[in-house]
Amino acid sequence: MDTFKASENDDGSYIDLEVLQHYLATGREVEFYYHKTKYYIANSSEGYILLEVFPGSDTESKDISDSFNDTNEFLLNVKIANTSLKEIFSKHTKNIEIVFIY
């Protein structure tokens, strides 16, 4: 597991869109906190899907996206509060608290 701090103000490794795209393209899964809500990008046989993890749980979640086989299509089309994942990881990294890569 790799761990990243996403904010420019944090010490440690930095994740941006390019790093995220690399990990997704290699089949990895990603857990991150955005505006204090935990999300998980799962890689299943049907493609990538975004899950919102229920507060206080590490296992209970709900699907909040369709599945996509293409990582670029996934990042462009999947949104959190009307903001695409592509935009979040390129322009709103200060709102991402920490990222775990599995």
Average pLDDT over residues 36-41: 94
pLDDT of residue 2 exceeding 70 = no
Burial of residue 40 (CB within 10 Å: 0-12, 13-18, 19+) is middle
What global pTM score does this model have? 0.84
Q: Which of 14-18, 47-51, 81-85 has the lowest mean pLDDT?
A: 14-18
Question: Is residue 54 over pLDDT 60?
Answer: yes
Beta-bridged to residue 79, according to DSSP, are 84
Buried b (16+ CB within 10 A) or exposed e, 49-60: bbbbbeeeeeee
Q: What mean pLDDT is reported for the chain? A: 86
The predicted pLDDT at position 74 comes to: 96
Task: Quote the CA–CA distance of 42 and 23 in Å, as a whole number.
Answer: 12
